[in-house]
Amino acid sequence: MAKKHTPIIEAPSKVKADEPFAVKIKVGGIDGVEHPNTLSHWINWVALYAGDRLISRTALGAELSDGYVLTINVTLKESATLRTQEFCNLHGVWEGKPKEITVE
């Protein structure tokens, strides 16, 4: 079940202070196992945090598309640990592996 629910963060490890950079979040898809997107089973939202501070929460709808990939532009003033969570309407909240971002 983790292969289709765990959100994965893709972002550079080093960024410049106050300069926007892209953070890509993909829900599931590990080993080709995609999360369903139907009226009975879907991802309701995806959240991105810097430490404990909420940066973005994106609401999603059923039958939106096949697969879930979000790109969010982020600006940091200092180094932070990015974390992401997603909420599946049937299986609850799932959190992915944190990503350390060093601000130079």
* Contact of 72 with 101, CB cutoff 8 Å: no
Give the rounded percent of residues in the chain with a pLDDT score beyond 90: 68
Q: Tell me the pLDDT tens digit for each residue of 70-102.
A: 999 999 999 999 999 999 999 999 999 999 999
Give residue 57's pLDDT band: very low, low, confident or very high (50, 70, 90).
Answer: very high
* Contact of 57 with 46, CB cutoff 8 Å: yes
Q: Tell me the pLDDT tens digit for each residue of 4-32.
A: 889 999 999 999 999 999 999 998 887 88
User: In this structure, which CATH number among 3.30.540.10, 3.30.70.640, 3.40.640.10, 2.60.40.730 belongs to the domain 2-80+92-103?
Assistant: 2.60.40.730
pLDDT at 64: 62
The C-alpha atoms of residue 59 and residue 45 are separated, in whole angstroms, by 4
pLDDT at 53: 97
pLDDT at 68: 84
Question: Domain segments of the chain: what residues?
Answer: 2-80+92-103
